[in-house]
A and B are shown apart, each in its own frame.
Chain A
Amino acid sequence: MAACMRRICGAGLLKSNHGIVLQQANKYSSSSTWTKSQKALCTSAGVLAGGVAALWYTLDRSVQAKDLILHPPEQDWPHKGLLGSFDHASLRRGYEVYKQVCAACHSMQYVRYRELIGVTHTEEEVKAEAAEIMVEDGPDDTGAMFKRPGKPADRFPSPYPNENAARAANNGAYPPDLSLIAAARHGGEDYLFSLLTGYCEAPAGVVLQEGQHFNPYFMGGAIGMAQAIYSESAEFGDGTPASASQIAKDVSAFLRWCSEPEHDQRKKTGLKALLMLAAFTAISIYWKRHSWSSLKSTKILYVPRKKL
């Protein structure tokens, strides 16, 4: 490998027709005394070592079944890829699924209603959505706490007052907060989609405790959450047929957006920045080549003194 690298990158440096200094320097090279077969052997050893390493790596990736967990297949999300952006109609449906199904057990403590403006809802719609919840506020002038309708600046409501109450209501299992769930799980939205649609009968030999369900995508297989997504288990405002996979897809996309609300803006800004940087890079390459051209084309001629 080293010999190959030398041939690719450094062969020009080792050629003896680059000037007298390099000719002298070449004499110090330990490889100058090597025979062709020695060099060939060395190259072969390098290529073989590289091949073995590549094979090793490939084998390692292919035997990930050792993890005792089913790896979720990659789905073709519209927001995947360099220039992909969220399907906002899907996000709106995902919010509806969250509200109708997930919010019964899961909190979303870092997401505020105002973040939906311009993404899934208009400002008026968001105000109406927020007003559906009652939020404890205060103290008022008399020092008492009071309830008021929600405002866009309020966070999504939590179904339980604290973790203990959540555990008590769910057979000891704590339904995780969903604000960052797509970022916090290996596989992201692919994992969420597979988990929501992957419930099945426990295979022979797997013993589940009371209140547990089997899902091969969940670490260990035994999950406290029952299957929540069925066909028609949610209603979409835009009339899209609510099949189980459609519901799972929309809510997974929505949860990804909740984890990365800046996603679309980030990619848009990135594209602009890269276009500008590419132009600056091209200018800087030209500038560098232009300023170095006289130095690069300089020819140094050695004229022995006696010939003068």
Chain B
Amino acid sequence: MKFKKIYLNPIMKILSSSLIKLPSPKNISLFWNFGSILGICLMTQILSGLFLAMHYVPNTEMAFQSVVHICRDVNMGWFMRIIHANGASFFFISMFIHIGRGIYYESFYLIQTWNLGVMIFLLTMASAFLGYVLPWGQMSFWGATVITNLLSAIPYLGTTLVYWIWGGFSVDNATLNRFFVFHFICPFIVLALVILHLFFLHLKGSSNPLGISSKSFKIPFTPYFLIKDIMGFMFFFCALFFITMFFPYYLGDPDNFSIANPMVTPLHIKPEWYFLFAYAILRSIPNKLGGVIALLMSILILFFLPLLKKNKIKQGSQFNLIKQNLFWMLISIFFLLTWIGAEPVEDPFIITGQILTILYFSVMIKFPSQ
């Protein structure tokens, strides 16, 4: 009787229809686990971030010292710090696989869900960039300087816009303060978008590896996919803990262990590994504005994938060898661009980056129309 009353509660009804009774295609593979893994990534980041924010000081005189204080003096502070830093990397690994699965199986037919996903991706990138500035190391400072300066490429408004974002005439205390505020708020906006993403996903139902309607054979989310997701979480945490506890600084840059110094420019300024593909595209265009547009388009092109489709047949790459070739070519290009982004700006890396940039956009445009 009591249970029935709880079940009649409108919130419980929503929860029940999205997490318990939700009809899900029976045949979705492990690649569909990355959606829920991204959810757990977001929660890990929010929770570890909250604990870090309790001790972090967003002031140029104290930011670096406060991070050192967190790692050395706060109880298990080092753990929160490395979980948060490596959690960002795992967030992006999961996100890249999630997007890759969406492209391979052409899940971008679910247009609202796809577009919201791309917005979440953009906002996550922004959040990661803002977060990277906070430790106020050398790479934080110079990364912030380079990336915010990109806006100066905008005709007429560029310089004014850059000063407005900096809150002064250089990356300084005001910049760090506002970056901290935005970094704090961004994940909650991402969370709201994730709820919308799920709402639209559940409205039409998940895609599946066959690319055909799965209405004929659906199963309830609980217990089947709940258990499958828990299994995915376990694998995810195994990987996260392995990297975090044994190689915590492997994905970072040693330059960020030196306090920001506006008078000393690092030899190679480069962003975190997950931005390197876009950074390589930015550097490939000799013109500043052109580079910024190419950088933006490398992500925004995802919005156009559903529009580039020529035929109306719902079919992914699984039965199309040409598409499979294009897809794996895209993956190879992505890895190569990531490698190029980490290399210095000199030959042969410049020309290689330019060729790969052309290939990236060509494959992206060609893929849906095959």
Contacts and interface: CB of A to CB of B under 8 A. Distances in A.
A25 B210 contact: yes
Nearest to A27: B319
Contact of A280 (B219, B234, B343): B234
A259 interface: yes
A172 interface: no
A46 interface: yes
Interface of B: 26, 65, 68, 71-72, 78-79, 82, 209-212, 219, 223-224, 227-228, 230-231, 234-235, 237-238, 241-242, 244-246, 248-249, 254-255, 257-258, 267, 313, 315, 318-325, 327-329, 332, 336, 339, 343, 370
Given A31-B319, A46-B328, A284-B231, 4 more contacts: A1-B328, A28-B313, A270-B245, A287-B230
Contacts of B343: 60
Contacts of A26: 319
Contact of A277 (B223, B238, B321, B332): B238
Contact of B224 (A25, A29, A261, A291): A291
Contact of B328 (A2, A185, A278): A2
A149 B328 CA distance: 67
A30 interface: yes
14 contacts: A3-B321, A3-B325, A5-B324, A6-B321, A28-B320, A30-B320, A49-B332, A176-B258, A184-B258, A270-B241, A274-B245, A281-B238, A284-B230, A287-B231
Contact of B246 (A21, A50, A179, A267): A267
Given A25-B319, A270-B246, A2 B224 contact: no
A262 interface: yes
A46 B325 CA distance: 8
A37 B253 CA distance: 48
Contacts, number: 133
Contact of A25 (B82, B212, B241, B267): B212
Contacts of B238: 274, 277-278, 281
Give the interface centre of A39, A49, A219 by most chain B CB atoms within 10 Å.
A49
Nearest to B210: A25
Given A270-B245, A281-B238, A288 B78 contact: no
A13 B317 CA distance: 12
What range describes how many residues of A lie at the interface?
35 or more
Interface string A267-308: 101110110011011001101100110010000000000000
A269 B245 contact: yes
Interface of A: 1-3, 5-6, 10, 13-14, 21-22, 25-26, 28-31, 34, 39, 42, 46, 49-50, 53, 57, 60, 82, 110, 115, 176, 179-180, 183-186, 188, 219, 259, 261-262, 266-267, 269-271, 273-274, 277-278, 280-281, 284-285, 287-288, 291-292, 295
6 nearest A-B pairs in the assembled complex, by CB-CB distance: A270-B245, A31-B321, A184-B257, A29-B319, A281-B234, A2-B328
Contacts of A292: 224, 227-228
A287 B246 contact: no
A8 B166 CA distance: 51
Nearest to A110: B68
Nearest to A285: B231
B235 A2 contact: no
A31 B320 contact: yes
A192 to B, nearest CB: 12
A288 to B, nearest CB: 5
Contacts of B323: 30
A185 B138 CA distance: 12
